[in-house]
Amino acid sequence: MKSYDILLSENKKWAHDRVENDADYFKRLSDLQTPEFLWIGCSDSRVPANEITNTQPGEIFVHRNVANLVIHTDVNLLSVLDYAVVHLKVKHVIVCGHYGCGGIKAAMSNTSYSQVLNMWLRNIKDVYRHNRDELNNITDEDLRADRLTELSVIEQVQRLAKTSIIQKAWKERDAPNLHGWVYGLKDGLINPVFEMKANTELDPLYEYNNL
């Protein structure tokens, strides 16, 4: 049996087991999607949002990319953010990174990976540059990467707050709250490192007054 055939076989077993335990399981999922959370996470296969938060399908709306970045020219992310905030009216947006992130470690190096990946990782290098003194004072490379992971998550949350999507929702319904989390691969625990409640005061340069 080929590897992808195993996935299809396991899917049939999973669907059968769900119906065995709850006959209306898929009917409920197909009729309604009202997640309270938008999760912006890393594409890393070891960090599945539903599993590490012990939630069910339908509870978290998920977007994932390399190193969980919020880039203001990323139409994919902005489309997800717009749909989640404007139409699903999520109450919380979570940016969740993870310790041991390959994207973070790659951004800390001077290795060239490809034109596209280099361009993507440059956003993390910018976070390093803005926090160079703090990071360079951490002699242990793994600990420095862990701290860069935290600082990058904080930066992504702040970038969310700079979007007109978030600011308009804050004015209209005093939501969503923004959260920065980091997941630990070694212990399975989530470390909350940052939070911005709705209508947190921003640098006036980034505030829109005609929303």
Q: Would you please indicate which residues are annotated as catalytic (active-site) residues? A: 42, 44, 46, 98, 101
Q: How many whole angstroms from its chain centre is CA 115?
A: 23
Q: How far apart are CA 36 and CA 113, in angstroms?
A: 37
Alpha carbon separation from 142 to 95, 128, 202, 211 (Å, rounded): 21, 14, 32, 43
Across the beta sheet with 190-196, what order do the strands follow? Answer: 60-65, 37-42, 92-98, 177-183, 190-196
Residue 92 DSSP SS3: strand
Q: Tokens 């212990």 sit at which residue?
A: 187
**Amino acid identity of 118?**
N
DSSP string covering 141-204:
HHHHHHHHHHHHHHHHHHHHHTSHHHHHHHHHHS--EEEEEEE-TTT--EEEEEEE-TT----G
Give the count of beta carbons closer than 10 Å to the beta carbon of residue 167. Answer: 20
